[in-house]
Amino acid sequence: MRYLPLTPDDRAQMLGVIGAADIDALFADVPAAARKRELFDLPKRAGELEVERELGALAARNRPAGDGTFFCGAGAYRHHVPASVDHIIQRSEFLTSYTPYQPEIAQGTLQVLFEFQTQVAALTGMDVANASMYDGSTACAEAVMMAKRVTRREKAILSGGVHPHYAAVTQTIAHAEGMTIVRQAAAIDAEAAVIDAIDSTVACVVVQTPNVFGVVTDVTKIAEAAHAAGALLIVVTTEAVSFGLLKSPGEMGADIAVAEGQSIGVGLNYGGPYVGLFACREKLVRQMPGRLCGETLDAQGRRGYVLTLSTREQHIRREKATSNICTNSGLCALAFTIHLSLLGEVGLRQMAALSHSRARELVGALNGVCEVLTPRYFNEIAVRVPNASAAVEALLADGIVAGVPYSRLAPEAGLDDVLLLAVTETTTSADIAALSAALKGRLGR
Amino acid sequence: MTMNNVGRPTAPGAAATASGHTSLTGARGLLQDEPLIFELGGWDKTGVDFDPPDHDAYDLGDLVRTAPIGIPGLSEPETLRHYVRLSQKNHAIDLALYPLGSCTMKHNPRLNEKMARLPGFADLHPLQPQSTAQGALELMDRLAHWLKTLTGMPAVALTPKAGAHGELCGLLCIKAAHEAAGNGDRRRVLVPTSAHGTNPATAAFVGYSVEEIAQTADGRVDLADLEAKLGPDVAAIMVTNPNTCGLFEREIIEIARITHAHGAYFYCDGANFNAIVGRVRPGDLGVDAMHINLHKTFSTPHGGGGPGAGPVVLSEALAPFAPAPWLVHGPDGLELVEEARDQAAQTFGRMCAFQGQMGMFVRAYAYMRSHGSDGLRQVAEDAVLNANYIKAVLSAEMTPAFPDGPCMHEALFDDHWLEGTGVTTLDFAKAMIDEGFHPMTMYFPLVVHGAMLIEPTETESKRELDRFCDALLALARAAKAGDVERFTGAPYLAPLSRLDETMAARKPKLTWRPEHATPLAAE
Amino acid sequence: MRFTKDHEWVEVDGDVATVGITAYAAEQLGDVVFVETPDVGKTVKAGDGFAVVESVKAASDVYAPISGEVVEANAALGDAPETVNAAPEASGWFAKVKLSNPAEVDALMDRHAYEAYLQTL
């Protein structure tokens, strides 16, 4: 077997050193009833060629986003990732290293995390950021739990514009923790409706901008209302590229900003792995979940980095930890950091402006075809298309993946005629024209 | 107050300065001193070329960000240099044995990387129509079949994103099952003292109180103590098997039996599944739920701290409570059920947006297919053989924590043999760095004094094992011979010497800010 | 000054007790990097967790040795947690508590008894 270096001779020699008669002797502690003598009913070993053939055949049965006209967003976005990003993350020293518990021989990973934290704090306009969470949805749930610890209150209000999966993940975790989640009814442009639900028992309000319908909201007033009641404002963003064009959560008064970082550096990957961004005000840092990298000096006075404030974490605090998270999303954070280091402020602003410009083009092209429901958008809009699910299935015949029906995310919401369309710099004018023509044909206009 | 002192100095203290030659620039041969990306001056540059947008005016009014963001950019060659230089400051599996106990740092086959990057997997959107992703769903289904067959369990929840996330999933299933049965008043979870920190943290995260189970002198769960603590208010036990001392729980079937007799569920932490894969099925041991770290047993890369993946296998009793989404075989092929469709559904909810770590599923499946049932069995056997070999060889100078009987996939030593030398476990580990090896897991499990937990994995050759053992034996003899400075000042030859963790924690600097930047090489 | 087996000390002045951790505890913990002191106004019962002291690798709960209401917390520890190492039984105090049951103090060890207790550890 190509991955196993021991030869039969090695094994015999090593058993001799150990003083064991055979390999079974080393499994002597396994109860006899549980020892499997025969091989399991699964195929036997396969060479590279055979494995490539099988997986290649499976991959060929899928329709990659890049194969043609494509408008899916709703929490995952197809942006172009420079080739050098993937090259660097495949270097052995990044790919095959562990969490940097021995800082003397992990400065590469640690310095990257420090750069990542700084970039995330800058994008979100917050003071500090952690070294990543699993994804945006789990970051959102963790933020709500953090608000409970900070305020010692047990209720959270979620706006009707929060991504339904994010809301479901938060509800799942909150239910287990005995926290109450008030989830407002799905609403296209009503983030500010959370204000009416704020009272002195509320730990936090959670709003999203751009929200799941693509609507961009200035949340300053929501922040003021939350703070007046002693509650925290958590701002969720699922499209990290929007930070290149829009006012940051920090500028608008957020206490915690969480985001999905997938659209910078990571790719679609059919839903994972992604990278959760988590940033907050400095005074809240000791209640933050996840790993943090900090600057320090070595014994010779040279600058270096270490994991720090670890007493918040499970390996020390155990049942009193701020979160149970251990492994996070290190390699995706590296990809994010490299892509953002290539872009810089100049490139990120261009990429965001291009994405927004494509959305304007899309809105223009849909004029007279269908109703655009999103008044202020970045790169994603909601449009009214009767039976949106059926429309998406029907447009596949034209080679068009025509976005995400909202009902797929929240079948119970009764918004079967809402279709979510996202564009990025990868979307072409021809794509937009094709979608517009196909929708026109279907809607008979 | 509780005294939670683990005896590790965290300031560099008397760590010596490297003697001998220094360069004029701070570089050491090929190893460059590399500033932060923020110190390289790329405030007006970019390494990505875009066409100018067709619309240059925004229609977003004062929603537009006007203040500078504060993110520098570099050209492609500068970016490559920066990150390649940083990479050279890392240890990696591809460089040498990486014996972190409990972490299973095995070789990461590159075929798996290639497969995960096929556009048919990597460039799929999680919400594109399922009819356009049947190959991806088929791969998930095949992975699920392998995981169920290897564990002897009837169901698997694929979505958890890491081991700890899998623990959360398992406990949420257990909690939902108790609530459905009207046993919501079960509030306690029992966890052995030797458990991973994630176990008590997870139990507390879902609102349970945590109680410790004592350990016997031979490093296993104390059955009498377990039985005494079980009661009508216990929801579950969480036991790692093989346990964190690297030992198989001989009484595991009895542990499961008495746990079930008290109406509690048996959660097994599957972090150490590598030791038994292909030889023992957790389903035959009475386990109700177990997470599988795909990034350990099935070799998806650790990537400097993730991403991982932690699918959870479930018993019949817990399967109905599994989180959305799940796969079903429908009339038009495979279908991912994303929302519970009727009131009878008992799912506890959702673990994450979308359907889990597809990129890791592809890699893990490619790994399983490459090994096959025969290769996976060989994986467990070689992993256990390598650990026992290390235990036998190193026992010449070091003291194994549990000398009697075989260990499983990792060898645990205590620090008895260092008594009187003036060298601590930490010092010894740091000296390993100078010899070219990553230290083993230290001071864990907590039940063994000065613990050193060595997990070689099956992908080490005998030659590399011998090289490793020779280095540790030489170090052990040096410690006993009084060569203390070799240890207390170590590492001498790493990119940096010991770091001041006290300083980092007292005055945390967590982001770069122009005003508090320190010079690269402070004199 | 009176002491507990959990290594807290109490010094009573009138009806207010100053509470901290002992020199022995500070030494065992190593470099203290953070102290979470109780909120002023909080009512504590003897034996309740009422503060947390952290070194780099450990977080330890400090239990209230006596019952009462917290009237002052040592704000200086926020910027200078190292004071707990430098002067644990003086300027490194954690909080002042207005005693609700002064008799509890009498049940604690005096220095002689505490030092004898340390010998047994």
Mean pLDDT within B371-378: 97
Structure tokens at B309: 């993946």
In sequence order, the β-bridge partners of residue A399 are: none
Q: What SS3 state is found at A61? A: coil
Polymer length of chain C = 121
- Any domain includes B12: no
* One domain, residues B386 and B502: no
Q: Report how far Cα B255 is from the mean position of its chain's Cα atoms.
A: 26
Question: Is residue A298 domain-shared with residue A364, that is, in the same domain?
Answer: no
- Is B30 touching A (CB cutoff 8 A)? no
Question: What's the one-letter identity of residue A362?
Answer: L
Phi, psi for B230 (deg, rounded to 5) = -65, 145
CB contacts, 8 Å: A29 with chain B: 247-248, 250, 405-406, 408
A132 band by pLDDT with thresholds 50, 70 and 90:
very high
Among the ranges B62-66, B379-383, C86-90, which has the highest mean pLDDT value? B379-383
d(CA C79, CA C99): 28
> Long-range CB contacts (< 8 A, 24+ apart) of A307-310?
A307/A99, A307/A100, A307/A101, A307/A103, A307/A110, A307/A131, A308/B501, A308/B504, A308/B505, A308/B508, A308/B510, A308/C56, A309/A285, A309/B505, A309/B508, A310/C56, A310/C57
> CA-to-CA distance for A378 and A421, rounded, in angstroms?
11
Of the three residues A338, A361, A396, the one that is the final residue of a domain is A338
Contact residues, B window 61-80, toward A, CB-based 8 Å cutoff: 62-65, 67-74, 76, 79-80
What number is the average pLDDT over the span A153-171? 97
Same domain, yes or no: B508 and B465: no
Which A residues 42-71 touch B at CB under 8 Å? Answer: 42-48, 50-52, 54-67, 70
Comparing CA positions, the residue from B278, B237, B275, B274 lying closest to residue B257 is B237
8 Å CB contact of B175 and A176? yes
- B498 in A contact zone (CB under 8 Å): yes
Give Dmax (Cα) for chain B.
76
Specify burial of residue B392 (Cβ count, 10 A radius: 0-12, 13-18, 19+): buried
Residue at a domain's end among B336, B367, B398: B367
DSSP string over A313-364: SHHHHGGG-S----S--HHHHHHHHHHHHHHHHHHHHHHHHHHHHHHHHHHH
* A315 found inside a domain: yes
What are B486's two structure tokens? 């070799």
**CA neighbor of A223 nearest in space, from A188, A187, A248:** A248
**Residue C71 to residue A332: CA distance in whole angstroms:** 48
Over the range B123-137, which residues count as b (16 or more CB within 10 Å of their CB) and which as e? bbbbbbbbebbbbbb
**Which residue is associated with the tokens 């940096």?**
B496
Residue type, A346: V
**β partners of residue B267:** B238, B289
DSSP B28: B
Residue B406 in domain: yes
Which one is predicted more confidently, A323 or A239? A239
User: Do the domain assignments include residue A310?
Assistant: yes
Which positions ≥6 away from A263 have C-beta within 8 Å? A76, A77, A79, A239, A240, A241, A424
Spatial contact of B216 and B225, defined as CB atoms under 8 Å apart: no
Q: What is the pLDDT of residue B54?
A: 67
C-alpha distances (whole Å) from A196 to each of A235, A379, B194 are 17, 29, 49
Calpha distance A162→A152 (Å, rounded): 23
Taking the CB of residue C107, how many other CB atoms lie within 10 A of it? 11
Q: Looking at the domain assignment, is residue B301 inside a domain?
A: yes
**Model confidence at B520, in pLDDT bands (50, 70, 90)?**
very low
Name the neighbours of B, counting chains with at least 3 Cβ pairs within 8 A. A, C
Three-state secondary structure readout of A252-265: CCCCEEEEECCCCC
Q: Does residue B519 surpass a pLDDT of 50?
A: no
Q: Which of B155, B125, B261, B267 is nearest to B206 (CA)?
A: B267
Q: Clarify whether residues A329 and A369 are in a common domain.
A: no
Q: Token digits for A184?
A: 């407002």
Confidence of residue B515 (pLDDT cuts 50, 70, 90): low
* Rounded-to-10 torsion of CA A42, A45, A51, A53: -80
Per-residue pLDDT of A270-288, as tens digits, reads 999 999 999 999 999 999 9
The CATH class of the C2-119 domain is: mainly beta
pLDDT tens for B449-492 read 999 999 999 999 999 999 999 999 999 999 999 999 999 999 99
Q: C6 and B1 in contact by Cβ < 8 A?
A: yes
Give the residue with greater pLDDT, B1 vs A95. A95
Tell me how far apart the alpha carbons of residues B50 and A354 are, in angstroms, rounded to a whole number: 8
For residue B323, pLDDT over 80 is answered with yes
Give a yes or no: residue B173 inside a domain.
Answer: yes
Tell me what pLDDT residue B55 has. Answer: 63
Is B1 a member of any domain?
Answer: no
Q: Return the axis-axis angle of helices B134-151 and B358-394, rounded to nearest 10°.
A: 30
- Pairing status of strand B188-192 against strand B155-157: unpaired
- Residue B256 tokens, joined: 């499961």
Q: Are residues B363 and B377 in the same domain?
A: no
Asked if B277 and B302 sit in the same domain, the reply is yes
How does pLDDT run across B490-514, given as a tens digit for each residue?
A: 999 999 999 999 999 998 999 998 8
Q: If you average pLDDT over residues B226-238, what whole number do you get? A: 97
pLDDT above 90: percentage of residues in chain B:
84
Q: Are B28 and B446 a contacting pair, CB within 8 Å?
A: no
What is the pLDDT averaged over residues A212-228?
98
Q: What is the mean pLDDT of residues A216-239?
A: 98
Q: What is the total count of domains within chain B?
A: 3
DSSP code at position B411: E
| Degrees to nearest 5, angle at CA A309 with B356 and A145 | 50
Task: For residue A341, count other CB atoms closer than 10 A to its CB.
Answer: 29
> Are B263 and B298 members of one domain?
yes
Domain of A438, CATH number, reads 3.90.1150.10
**Interchain proximity C28–B5, CB inside 8 Å:** yes
Mean pLDDT of chain A: 96
Radius of gyration of chain A (CA): 25
Each residue's pLDDT tens digit, A324-375: 777 789 999 999 999 999 999 999 999 999 999 999 999 999 999 999 999 9
pLDDT digits (tens, 9 = 90+) for B76-132: 999 999 999 999 999 999 999 999 999 999 999 999 999 999 999 999 999 999 999
Looking at the structure, tell me whether residues A325 and A393 fall in a common domain: no
Domain count, chain A: 2
Residue spans of the domains in chain C: they are 2-119
* Residue B483 confidence (pLDDT): 97
| Residue C16 pLDDT exceeds 50 | yes
Do A310 and C58 lie within an 8 Å CB cutoff? Answer: no
Note the ipTM here: 0.97
B236 shares a domain with B174: yes
Same domain flag for B207 and B315: yes
The pLDDT mean for chain B works out to 93
What distance in Å separates the CA atoms of residue C69 and residue C46, rounded to the nearest whole number? 11
State which H helix or E strand residue B113 sits in: helix B110-116
Residue B516 included in any domain: yes
Rounded CA separation C18/C70 (Å)? 10
As given in the structure block, the two tokens for residue A308 are 């720090």
What is the residue range of B318's domain? 111-367
Nearest CA in chain B to C30: B9
With 90 as the cut, is the pLDDT of residue B356 above it? yes
Chain A residues whose CB is inside 8 A of the C58 CB are: 311, 316
Place of tokens 């003036």: B422
Report the DSSP pairing between strands A155-158 and C95-99.
unpaired
Pair (A169, A124) in one structural domain: yes
In sequence order, what DSSP letters do the residues of C45-71 get, joined into one string? -TTSEEEEEEESS-EEEEE-SS-EEEE
Q: Is-contact C55 C29, C-beta < 8 A? A: yes
**Radius of gyration in angstroms for the set of CA atoms belonging to chain B, rounded to a whole number:** 26
pLDDT at B521 over 50: no
How far is CA B284 from its chain centroid?
25
Split at pLDDT 50, 70, 90, the class of A399 is very high
* Prediction pTM value: 0.95
Q: Is residue B4 part of a domain?
A: no
Give the mutation candidate from A152, A311, A315 for the C interface (greatest C CB count, under 10 A): A311
Q: Indicate if B304 and B406 belong to the same structural domain.
A: no
> What does the pLDDT read at residue B16?
47
What pLDDT, on the 0 to 100 scale, is given for residue B4?
53
Bridge partners of B265? B236
The verdict on A403 and A261 lying in the same domain is: no
Report the chain A residue with the minimal C-alpha distance to residue C54.
A311
Across the interface, whether the CB atoms of C34 and A286 are under 8 A apart is answered yes
Residue A163 has pLDDT above 80, yes or no: yes
Domain that holds residue A184: 83-338
Per-residue confidence (pLDDT) for residue B30, from 0 to 100: 86
Q: Any idea what the CATH number is for the domain that residue B353 is in?
A: 3.40.640.10
Same domain, B158 and B306: yes
Note whether residue A182 is domain-resident: yes
B143 and B236 together in one domain: yes
Q: Using CA atoms, how far apart are residues C22 and C19, in angstroms rounded to an integer? A: 10
CB pairs below 8 Å between A and B: how many?
734
- Position A358 in a domain: yes
CB contact under 8 Å between C53 and B1, yes or no, is yes
Whether the CB-CB separation of A285 and A309 falls below 8 Å is answered with yes
Nearest CA distance, B338 vs chain A (angstrom): 8
CATH classification at residue A251: 3.40.640.10
Q: B191 pairs with which residues across the strands? A: B212
Does residue B166 sit in the same domain as residue B226?
Answer: yes
- B217 with B258, same domain? yes
**Cβ contact, residue pair B461, A5, below 8 Å:** yes
Sign of CA dihedral A38, A39, A40, A42: negative
The stretch A316-324 carries a mean pLDDT of: 74
B517, pLDDT greater than 90: no
Q: Are residues A75 and A89 in the same domain?
A: no
- B61 in any annotated domain: no
Contact A329, A260 (CB under 8 A): no
Tens-place pLDDT, residues B39-66: 998 999 999 999 877 666 677 889 999 9
